Homo-oligomer: A and B are copies of this chain.
Amino acid sequence: MRISTAGFLTLLAGVALTHAAAAQPLRTPLPNGAKFPIALAVEVPAGDSTVYLSGIGADPLPNAPHEYGDTETQTRSALTKIGATLQGLGLSYSDVVAVHVYLAGDKAKGGKLDFTGLQAAWTQFFGTKTQPDLPARSAFQVAALANPGWLVEIEVIAARPPKTQ
């Protein structure tokens, strides 16, 4: 038997389509033109691999091994560590597709979560001119984090597109 030209091209087209569809996660913005820097939804194409990171909190402050700073400081530290982790895997903030933000109540804020502090740091990493890609995100206050000095722990899922050839 010989494979017909049409048959083979159909097969190749199928492969090509799969690769083309896998190129970029599809990010749906929040409705009504909301400026809040998260996506309503992010679709990861079937061709991508999925990278799960453990929850990551801040490093201690310099010269203060048991102090971690306020929520903004800790969020910046945690996201910087996440960026380094992603970089070590050949990925970047642009590849982040879903995020969980676990906040602890801040005694300096009456035991409440510091959402303003979270956002002040978050917006330096997501939704910037040079890094406009927004992940889906849920953020809420937990009863306590595993490290009692932490005010925030951040957990991300990233997607790695297939190698183009």
Contact status B144-A98, CB under 8 Å = no
Interface string of A97-134 (1 = CB under 8 A from B): 11010100100000011010000000000000000000
CA distance A85 to B28 in the complex (A): 9
CA distance A157 to B47 in the complex (A): 17
Most chain B beta-carbon contacts within 10 A, residue among A3, A15, A45, A48: A3
CA distance A23 to B155 in the complex (A): 25
Contact status B142-A85, CB under 8 Å = no
Contact status B141-A97, CB under 8 Å = no
Contact status B8-A3, CB under 8 Å = yes
Interface range for A: 35 or more
Please name all residues of chain B whose beta carbon is closer than 8 Å to the beta carbon of A15 when the two chains form the complex. 11, 14
Interface string of A1-16 (1 = CB under 8 A from B): 1111100100110110
Please name all residues of chain B whose beta carbon is closer than 8 Å to the beta carbon of A140 when the two chains form the complex. 55, 102, 142-146, 153
Q: Among B11, B41, B46, B102, point to the contact of A54 (Cβ < 8 A).
A: B41
